[in-house]
Amino acid sequence: MRRGEQPPWIVSDELWAEIAPLLPPRPPRRHRFPGRKPIDDRKVLCGILFVLYTAIPWEYLPQELGFGSGMTCWRRLRDWNDAGVWQRLHEVLLGKLRAADQLDMSRAVIDGSHIRALKGGPKPVRARSTAASQARNTTSSPMRAAFPSPRA
């Protein structure tokens, strides 16, 4: 990171304007036992990006950064993933790139991990033997009779 550059885990205002409408609404707080006030979604997203960028374990996310606990970030990531936020964000950003004619599909790669594997595909055929005759069975060999198993 160069001097004056923003760290890669800090979400810009422009990117946040794209992401915020895609996030599911937070459930309302209870009146009687409201619990802790939830951390702002943008801060949590920065915490998620920090963990992914630095590859630290979730539980080691520094509290001093103000992103919430690692468990909070992990739970939000799970909830947002279940709500389909990342897929919708991917589609929105691709649409914007296509509209601005900035998407170069000549460099696209199809990855097999994104294609559903069908069950019950063709089974490989067992290779035929190339030997002239079948090997002798070791259970009926004369050596086996001469040297019985100690368990017998």
Q: Looking at the domain assignment, is residue 72 inside a domain?
A: yes
* Segments in the chain forming alpha helices (H): 13-19, 41-54, 70-82, 85-99, 142-146
Spatial separation of the C-alpha atoms in residues 11 and 9, rounded to whole Å = 6
Question: Is 49 domain-assigned?
Answer: yes
Inside any domain, residue 70: yes
Q: Which two tokens stand for residue 118?
A: 């069908």
Domain assignment present for 83: yes
What is the extent of the structural domain holding 94? 13-23+39-100
Is residue 133's pLDDT more than 90?
Answer: no
56-80 residue pLDDT tens: 999 999 999 999 999 999 999 999 9
According to DSSP, residue 57 is labeled: -
How many angstroms separate the CA atoms of 87 and 76, rounded?
Answer: 15
Residue 115 resides in a domain: no
> Does residue 130 belong to any structural domain of this protein?
no
Q: Report whether 5 contacts 31 (CB < 8 A).
A: no
Q: pTM score, two decimals?
A: 0.65
Q: Is residue 145 part of a domain?
A: no
What CA–CA distance (Å, rounded) separates 10 from 150?
70
For residues 107, 113, 118 and 122, what is the CA-based torsion angle, rounded to 10 degrees? 80
Which residue's structure tokens are 């389909």?
84
Give me 95's structure tokens.
């649409």
pLDDT in tens, 12-59: 999 999 999 999 998 888 888 888 888 999 999 999 999 999 999 999
The count of structural domains within the chain is 1
